[in-house]
Structure 1
Amino acid sequence: MEGTLIKPEDTWLLWAFLAGWAAVSIYLEQKYDWANKVSGAIIALVGALVLANLNVIPTAAPAYDVVWGYVIPLAIPLLLFQANLRKVWNESGRLLILFLISSVGTVIGVMISFFALYKFVPELDKISALMTGSYIGGSVNFAAMAGKFEPSEAMVSSAIVADNFMMALYFFVLIAIPGIPLMRRLFKAPIVERIEKEPVRNDETLAASYWKRKEISLKDIALSIGSAFVIVGVAFKVAELFGAYLPEGGAFWSIIRGILGDKYLMLTTITVLAVTLFSKFFDRLNGAQEIGTYLIYIFFVVIGTPASIPLLIKNAPLLLVFVFIIVLVNMIITFGVGKLFKFTMEEMIVASNANVGGPTTAAAMAIAKGWKELIVPAMLVGTMGYIIGNYIGSAVGYYLSNLM
């Protein structure tokens, strides 16, 4: 880091880059077709990766810690303001079923990959928890599990590199699938066929048409951000109290402490309960999704900063094999079971994408492909991934830790 152009202590310059590049990524996605197809999330990540490897920005800095410690906790409730459980089921029941099947594929993939490689990769039980959360929910869950299980910084960095590299490759694979003749013969693709017959041309990208202007007031901004702060503060304090006062002895109390004393699980639980119980209040808030998505784009920039290919090769080259097995098993189960139960190709692609990348990337792919009827369901089931990813990731982490 000593040789970087921007030093770790140059906090304002680093925040200028983080916030600025996130904004540029969103702008490019909504301005140009090529960027729309790649997705702003990948642009954000790759831009940081390139600058970090060119020694323009540091791979670690206090500014990045703020994103992990404060930006992500605020982004979680803002993005979960749509997580009304009744709404998720009513509007996305079919896709939700496939998404849950795909989640099972992730867990099976993690187990296969863990038992194949645990003798060769250190801390793989903790990394398995991170990747389970990440490949059921998304980067938010990766951050939550990293904060919970606390693997070494070197392993987290290497896992991020492997995760991001594989995620980017898999997105390109998913994007390419509808154009592969063999896949078109194997799976029904009614939306793709309709778009091919009736191409829609517009001066703006599909991302821009989705993230169109909406009426938003100062009250919306104040209540959205204020509610997020309150929920985070209450959830973290409640988790702290449970962790301090619950008994420590015995397997039962260890599990209870692990659930109730975990600040990210408590944050998820309180947010979903609040949104489901007070749905009218949260439904009236405009802008929460946009603010939360922007914060996630800042996180996409941050997770690209430690993505050093030499670091991956030096510290944990087998992590790339580890995540490859997980993604491969997820894909096989998603498409295999999807074929068995007559889901469409588009539904399989979106469900698997929502697992591996989360709601923002799943919606971005649906937008980029013009699958308008799948955009909202993709966001909703991906949001469900945010909810269950932390719970399943924690369960996998505890189970595998006991085996080590």
Structure 2
Amino acid sequence: MQVAFLLLFYILSPFVILYLCHKYAFINKLGAVLMAYVVGIIIGNTGYFNGDAINQMQEIVMSVTIPLAIPLILYSSNLKKSFELAKSTFMSLLSALIALVVIVVLGYFIFKPIGNGNFSKISGLLVGVYTGGTPNLAALKMVLDVDVSTYLAIHTYDMVLSTLHLFFLMLIGKKMFELVLPKFVNQDNNIDDKWISEVAKDPYWGLLSKENRLPLLKAVGITFFIVAIGGGLMMLMPEKYQMAVFILSITALALVASTKDTIKDIPKTYELGMYLILIFSIVVASKADYRNFTNINPTIFYYVTFVVFGSMILHVLLAKIFKIDADTVIITSAALICSPPFVPVVAGALKNKALILPGITVGIVGYAIGNFLGFLISELLTLF
């Protein structure tokens, strides 16, 4: 009975969270993912839900939600638009990725505790979360077999530091960056309202409306097919690389599927994928011991801080070399460090709607490459 009730709670509680985000502006500003973690921590520390049967159910839910979420999130991506980015946006994206990898690798050698052979996993998680946000962080947790306490520590520190980073960009970033970078010149970008609606203006509302049910059922069917192929490929690999091959193969197959208009144009696939991410977030938070949050792990906290702000500074320096304007750097940083849903918010603060579409495109590219890049960096760092 406990298992069935808790499973039902995991499935339905995101509905309540999203309704509260829709109803109350201050909850919406906190964000659905943060609320999911709060709910999970509360339910997990009641002391009522424990035992082998519940632990087994939690592991199954976590193992199912992420592989299903990744394709759904990526179906609405547009690879063609990604290759059509303006030169300044593309160079800003490239500079940001270079800056992130350099700072993550440098931080690995600065903060790695002596004898800690698993510290490279943290590096991989940081690359993933600062290219693709929570979906890639959750996927790489599975790929790299990261324990729950480490995952939650990184996610907690990330939420705090990313919020500070976001406030900096919105409040004083433009004035500071324009001291060293050129000002933005409007190139008359066309704004794609469909894309913007995917990540702004209460996008979850109407997720299961009558007109969306059948198309979404089709998307779910395609997703199961992709996951089945990924599972088959996984079984052909040595055990050490099975999870990596599984996640990376479904990522690649989802990107291929997104090139088909009949799949890309299915409404609300991104939102359905993020709904599964919310379920995952509640489950993983409910498995955590509250006592883990009373003591900050200084090594991980300093490492995350170093990556968030160090990569931003290096990004600006590279942008100076490539003569990228301040607004483009800010929107790129917001898309990668904070994720695509924050792009319209930051664009609004900059009073520059022309950068919404490029910013969202940058974020979608981050979703697409984050799993690959995070796994690659983690594997390379194990050699040192």
Partner of 2:267: helix, strand, or coil? coil
Equivalent residue, structure 2, for 1:254 = none
Task: Please give the TM-score of this superposition, normalised by the length of structure 2.
Answer: 0.79
Deviation at 1:147, TM superposition (A): 2.3
Equivalent residue, structure 1, for 2:305 = 324
Deviation at 1:47, TM superposition (A): 3.7
Please tell me the residue identity of whatever aligns with 1:126. K
Equivalent residue, structure 2, for 1:160 = 152
In 2, the alpha carbon distance for the partners of 1:173 and 1:57 equals: 36
Equivalent residue, structure 2, for 1:240 = 235
Equivalent residue, structure 2, for 1:194 = none
In 2, the alpha carbon distance for the partners of 1:81 and 1:29 equals: 24
Does residue 81 (structure 1) correspond to residue 75 (structure 2)? The answer is yes
Deviation at 1:132, TM superposition (A): 1.9
In 1, the alpha carbon distance for the partners of 2:356 and 2:293 equals: 34
Equivalent residue, structure 2, for 1:170 = 162
Task: Please give the TM-score of this superposition, normalised by the length of structure 1.
Answer: 0.76
Deviations, residues 221-280 of structure 1 (Å, cap 9, x unaligned): 221111111111112212322x16xxx9xxxxxxxx95997111111112212322xx22
Specify which of 254, 258, 265 is matched with residue 248 of structure 2: 265
In 1, the alpha carbon distance for the partners of 2:364 and 2:290 equals: 30
In 2, the alpha carbon distance for the partners of 1:326 and 1:12 equals: 41
Deviation at 1:99, TM superposition (A): 2.8
* C-alpha RMSD over aligned residues: 3.6
In 2, the alpha carbon distance for the partners of 1:96 and 1:294 equals: 30
Evaluate the alpha carbon distance shift between residue 322 and residue 362 of structure 1 in structure 2; reply closer, same or farther with a 3 A threshold: same
In 2, the alpha carbon distance for the partners of 1:70 and 1:167 equals: 24
Specify which of 367, 380, 398 is matched with residue 361 of structure 2: 380
Deviation at 1:298, TM superposition (A): 2.2
In 1, the alpha carbon distance for the partners of 2:358 and 2:204 equals: 15
Deviation at 1:58, TM superposition (A): 6.5
Deviation at 1:374, TM superposition (A): 4.4
Please tell me the residue identity of whatever aligns with 1:263. F
Partner of 2:211: helix, strand, or coil? coil
Evaluate the alpha carbon distance shift between residue 101 and residue 216 of structure 1 in structure 2; reply closer, same or farther with a 3 A threshold: farther
In 1, the alpha carbon distance for the partners of 2:331 and 2:266 equals: 27
Alignment of 1:109-120 (within 5 A): 109-120=103-114
In 2, the alpha carbon distance for the partners of 1:17 and 1:260 equals: 28
Deviation at 1:108, TM superposition (A): 1.4
In 1, the alpha carbon distance for the partners of 2:348 and 2:285 equals: 22
Partner of 2:131: helix, strand, or coil? coil
Deviations, residues 62-106 of structure 1 (Å, cap 9, x unaligned): 343233211111110011112332132236765344233222222
In 1, the alpha carbon distance for the partners of 2:361 and 2:44 equals: 33
**Mean alpha-carbon deviation: is it higher for 262-271 or for 178-187?**
178-187
In 2, the alpha carbon distance for the partners of 1:261 and 1:179 equals: 39
In 1, the alpha carbon distance for the partners of 2:103 and 2:31 equals: 26
Alignment of 1:270-289 (within 5 A): 270-276=253-259, 279-289=260-270
Evaluate the alpha carbon distance shift between residue 85 and residue 108 of structure 1 in structure 2; reply closer, same or farther with a 3 A threshold: same
Alignment of 1:200-219 (within 5 A): 207-208=200-201, 210=203, 213=206, 216-219=211-214
Deviation at 1:325, TM superposition (A): 1.4
Evaluate the alpha carbon distance shift between residue 167 and residue 44 of structure 1 in structure 2; reply closer, same or farther with a 3 A threshold: same
Structure 2 residue runs of 5 or longer lacking an equivalent are 186-198
**Mean alpha-carbon deviation: is it higher for 156-165 or for 364-373?**
364-373
**Mean alpha-carbon deviation: is it higher for 125-134 or for 339-348?**
339-348
**Mean alpha-carbon deviation: is it higher for 137-146 or for 9-18?**
9-18
Equivalent residue, structure 1, for 2:342 = 362
Deviations, residues 261-313 of structure 1 (Å, cap 9, x unaligned): 7111111112212322xx22213322212211211222333344356564256
8 Å contact 1:350–1:362 — kept in the other structure? no
Evaluate the alpha carbon distance shift between residue 284 and residue 116 of structure 1 in structure 2; reply closer, same or farther with a 3 A threshold: closer
Evaluate the alpha carbon distance shift between residue 53 and residue 317 of structure 1 in structure 2; reply closer, same or farther with a 3 A threshold: farther
In 2, the alpha carbon distance for the partners of 1:33 and 1:72 equals: 28
8 Å contact 1:30–1:207 — kept in the other structure? no
In 2, the alpha carbon distance for the partners of 1:380 and 1:61 equals: 38
Equivalent residue, structure 2, for 1:305 = 286
Deviation at 1:189, TM superposition (A): 7.8
Alignment of 1:179-198 (within 5 A): 179-180=171-172, 183=176, 186=179
